[in-house]
Amino acid sequence: MRTTARLLTGSALVVASIGLGAQASYAGDPGSLEIHPRTVAPGDSVTVSTQACGKDGRGVGDAGSLGAGEFKLRPGTHKDFAVGEFTVPAHTRSGTYGISVFCKNGKEATGDVTVRGHHAPSGHVKTGVGGSVGPDTTQIAAGVAVLSAAAVGGVLLLRRRASGTQGG
């Protein structure tokens, strides 16, 4: 009886917490600002959209926190969304910055954009030359000699075992 009560109580708590979380994370929340992409590098373009401005709504966005200034929002391809765009300035440092939108209908929407560092890893990893600068005939000859000696030694050992003449 206790196990059934615990199971039902636990299930009820899980369902309640999922239900509460789902409402808060709904992308179409009129007060939310959808930002794409959320993580950018200096020089990247960022698109923002919101339903806060209403159908065929307009507004002004503020990306001044990262130095991009104001940008306009206009009705997007989906008439329920107002859409705007700005470019992250080249001098912007890494961090998370707040973006605000002020709609003509008096509503406001906010969101965050994260700027990653100026020098994102790209290309080959520089780990040193490791002896691969150029062909060194001495090292190649030494390697061939070692491999040959190992092969000859292995063949002799196998022949010796096969003939049954093991010393010792």
Q: What is the pTM of this model?
A: 0.53
pLDDT of residue 39: 92
CA-CA distance, 154 to 134, in Å (whole number)? 31
Comparing C-alpha atoms, which of 79, 90, 69 is closest to residue 49?
79
Higher pLDDT, 27 or 109: 109
pLDDT at 130 over 90: no
Residue 25 has a pLDDT of 38
Q: Please compute the mean of the pLDDT values over residues 134-162 and round it to a whole number.
A: 82
- 39-67 residue pLDDT tens: 999 999 999 999 998 888 899 999 999 89
* Least confidently predicted of 28-37, 67-76, 122-131, 147-156: 122-131
Task: Report the alpha-carbon distance of residue 46 to residue 88 in Å, rounded.
Answer: 7
Q: How many residues does the chain have?
A: 168
Q: How many Cα atoms occupy the beta-carbon half-sphere of 9 within 13 Å?
A: 6
Task: Give the three-state DSSP class for 89.
Answer: coil
**CB within 8 Å of 12: residues ≥ 6 apart:** none
**Kind and range of the H or E run holding 61:** strand 59-62
Assess whether pLDDT exceeds 70 at residue 12.
no
Q: Which two tokens stand for residue 12?
A: 């009820």
Share the mean pLDDT of the chain: 77
pLDDT for 78-128, tens place per residue? 778 899 999 999 988 999 999 999 999 999 999 999 999 765 555 656 655
Helix (H, G, I), strand (E, B) or coil at 123: coil
How far apart CA 35 and CA 50 sit, in angstroms, is 9
Distance CA 61, CA 101 (A): 4
